[in-house]
Amino acid sequence: MNLYSGMKIKIWVDDIRPVPSGYEGTKSVEETINLIEEIEAAGGEIEVLYGGDAIKILDYLAEREIFYPIRIHTANPVGRANMERMIERYWN
């Protein structure tokens, strides 16, 4: 039985900030995509994807037409604006 089978998982994407309690942490786009695919394959559920400047992860999800709840944490105003625009376009 896989670790994520039947579980609700919160993913924290950040290569600097510490992973909060209750989250699975990833530090890169590739690591995040691998975790998403592992959770999906196990029959787990992604409760929220909480990330910094991760437009490539949003691209990956939009291409697959899978729209997990997204929360943004980034100090990069351009990155935030780009992600918000993409979320507005595809997630609503």
pLDDT grade for 84, boundaries at 50, 70 and 90: very high
Q: Whose structure tokens read 């993409």?
A: 86
pLDDT grade for 3, boundaries at 50, 70 and 90: confident
Give this prediction's pTM. Answer: 0.92
Average pLDDT of 40-56?
93
Distances from the Cα of 8 to the Cα of 69, 71, 84, angstroms: 12, 16, 24
Q: Identify the CA nearest to 24 among candidates 37, 35, 38.
A: 35
